[in-house]
Chains A and B, each alone.
Chain A
Amino acid sequence: MKSLKELEEIRNKALCQIDLRKKGEGIRIVVGMATCGIAAGARPVLSALVEEVSRRKLSNVTVSQTGCIGACRLEPIVEVYSPSSEKVTYVKVSPQMAGRIVAEHIVNGNPVTEFTIGYHEQQQQGR
């Protein structure tokens, strides 16, 4: 060990391994993983989210599961809780959509409106 900077480098590399265990103010991505969710394909969505978060080395973001929220017809459902804004609920999420959610919502802070439950309901009514 030659300098504090060198230590800092090891620290930064190791930090993402342990971040999960700090109770964060960070963003939580929750995937509905009850029977309905799993049957609708929530598992690959979850994997895609985890992969995308780790590929982008996002700290302060956790991906976790939850049970059935009741809107089984809209599964797979992904909800994003962030401390600075309201909860956003995405419905009928596919692995491809998961990638966009991470990129646009989590990284850039712009919820993907056309994936949200509100947009979906509007479309249904309009038809």
Chain B
Amino acid sequence: MDIFRSHVLVCGGTGCTSSESPKIIESFNEELTKAGLEKEVKVVKTGCFGLCEAGPIVIVYPEGSFYSRVKPSDVPEIVNEHLLKGRLVSRLLYKADAQGIETSIENIDFYKKQKRIALKNCGVIDPEKIEEYIALDGYKALGLCLTEYKPQQVIDIIKESGLRGRGGGGFPTGLKWQFCGDEANEQKYVVCNADEGDPGAFMDRSVLEGDPHAVLEAMAIAGYAIGANMGYLYVRAEYPIAVKRMEIAIAQAHELGLLGKGLFGSGFDFNVEIRLGAGAFVCGEEMALIASIEGRRGEPRSKPPFPAQKGLFGKPTIINNVETFANIPQIILNGPAWFASMGTEKSKGTKVFALGGKINNTGLVEIPMGTTLREIIFDIGGGIPEGKKFKAAQTGGPSGGCIPASHLDTHIDYDSLTAIGSMMGSGGLIVMDEDNCMVDVARYFLDFTVDESCGQCSPCRIGTKRMLEILERIVSGQGEEGDIEKLERLAVNIKGSSLCGLGKTAPNPVLSTLKYFRDEYEAHIRDKKCPAGHCKALLSYMIDKKMCVGCGVCAKVCPTNAISGKIKEPFEIDQSKCIKCGVCMSKCKFGAIEKK
């Protein structure tokens, strides 16, 4: 087996792939051959490193040098300087702030406060090589379970660890397995829910892309624990890289006999098949997901019976989220006490979040439960761009709620987030700054749920539509007294009477923004003003006559010729023609145009 003195790791996650990382890999191979280094230096395509903001990312080991925003044209320099002569290419090294240059991945603030369990191998191994997974103790947990533990012992370990479902609900995983394990049935199923649908969330995609074997191994462990010999991975078709890597992983596992018949010399058989979803949000709901795998329309049904009793094809089934599964092998290997030592009293372990919105370090982070929102946003996330003020963070996507600045020091776990009117959700974390209008944020999420409602039950189908209509009225300046009360009444009724989780949580963004930003709603309705200056219908651009020098640039750039005036005299905006595009304001060098 060849040994290389240096490994060049190039991110092959979806984010970096779309910014040309495949070309970077190609270019590395070419340049290394040109320099005669192809036998000394190995190029490895890995999963997501997490710091997507700085992508495409290239890491060079053994130094651990962290190069960010690498372009294919930078590759010859890295090869000739770093790999041939051993001189770091400092202009490409990741810079944490204006002065500091970090040469090594371990020293970057973004990674320092993280604790990686589910993302342990992401960005470290080549996800398309089963050997690299095995080298880092892959499939050892499955081997241990099959050779040393009885199924009930496995369930007990998971129970003891305190692991709760990472898909959003937070149901204790061990208990779920117990319910299914207790059912007497010849045929049972394990389902992995990879139907990640929240806007802005990409945790599950990154795990599937970066560490596909961890999910397969965990599904097999779950199968052994509950007595199932078949697993289905339900993943959306718009994750092509994840699907491809899972297919490769399944084939490799079969080749080495880590899936299939008689694993580890035991009588246990296990197979996994992939089912592609068409991208309906409701199919992330477990009953709708089951219906979709069965080939029916993705619609939920009422519970009970729960999937553990009557799930896929009418058989006992457990459905766990990708991230939940990714934790399982580590819990088996390190023991339940190790896992339970991290986190808070009722929420153990870590949680992966996808940071998005108005934040410097857009990307993927994994933190111990109990970390505060402030630490995630300011220490790991690097704060808000352009020195703007933090306003709120949305967790749980369209099912969750917003968390205002006053709750920045909340310790993140399932219960404390629920207590302040949000929820853990699957891990999307969208940050909003002072320019975001909270009424419009609520409208945006409701627009999403109205689109994604399956239409089976009327509270969700009709109720959310009515709420959206009211919100659209408010943001366009047509809000009326009593609208807030109507929203509240509708919200409570929809929450109480919808059939599935989608409807039951759909009003949450409205309720939580009403709770913390009621004054913004009132300003829209009563004063016809948008305090954040976001809702176009409610603002007007004005020229300050004292500041205007009469250069005429604004009139030139105005697409509707709404600005007129004489050179060297103050100009004026005709409000009836203005479409509020804001170009004049961005072009004025004298700061004479303001938004009101």
How many interface residues does A have (CB within 8 Å)? Answer: 37
> Are A2 and B257 in contact (CB-based, < 8 A)?
yes
> Are B265 and A65 in contact (CB-based, < 8 A)?
no
What are the residues of chain B within 8 A of A15 when measuring CB–CB? 135
> Are A17 and B140 in contact (CB-based, < 8 A)?
no
User: Given A7-B134, A50-B40, A67-B87, A23 and B106 touching (CB < 8 A)?
Assistant: yes
User: Given A18-B132, A20-B61, A23-B106, A4 and B144 touching (CB < 8 A)?
Assistant: yes
Q: Encode B52-66 as 1/0 by CB contact (under 8 A) with A.
A: 000000000111100
With most chain B CB atoms within 10 A of its CB, the pick from A1, A16, A53, A62 is A1
What are the residues of chain A within 8 A of B6 when measuring CB–CB? 20, 64
> Are A7 and B140 in contact (CB-based, < 8 A)?
yes
> Are B3 and A50 in contact (CB-based, < 8 A)?
yes
> Are A28 and B264 in contact (CB-based, < 8 A)?
no
CA distance A9 to B227 in the complex (A): 29
With most chain A CB atoms within 10 A of its CB, the pick from B85, B258, B263 is B85
CA distance A32 to B40 in the complex (A): 16
> Are B5 and A64 in contact (CB-based, < 8 A)?
yes
One of A4, A13, A63 near B1 (C-beta < 8 A): A13
**Shortest Cβ distance from residue B171 to the other chain A in the assembled complex, whole angstroms:** 32
> Are A17 and B1 in contact (CB-based, < 8 A)?
yes
One of A4, A10, A20, A31 near B147 (C-beta < 8 A): A4
Residue A66 at the chain B interface, CB threshold 8 Å: yes
Q: Encode B479-522 as 1/0 by CB contact (under 8 A) with A.
A: 00000000000000000000000000000000000000000000
What are the residues of chain B within 8 A of A21 when measuring CB–CB? 7, 9, 61-62, 124
Residue B137 at the chain A interface, CB threshold 8 Å: yes
**Shortest Cβ distance from residue A79 to the other chain B in the assembled complex, whole angstroms:** 12
> What are 30 A-to-B residue pairs whose CB atoms are below 8 Å?
A1-B256, A2-B264, A2-B265, A3-B143, A3-B147, A3-B264, A3-B265, A7-B134, A7-B264, A13-B1, A14-B132, A16-B1, A17-B135, A18-B124, A18-B125, A18-B132, A18-B135, A20-B6, A21-B62, A32-B86, A33-B85, A35-B85, A46-B5, A47-B40, A49-B5, A50-B40, A57-B3, A64-B6, A64-B86, A67-B87
By a beta-carbon cutoff of 8 Å, the part of chain A in contact with chain B is 1-4, 7, 10-11, 13-18, 20-21, 23-24, 28, 31-35, 38, 46-47, 49-50, 53-54, 57, 62-67
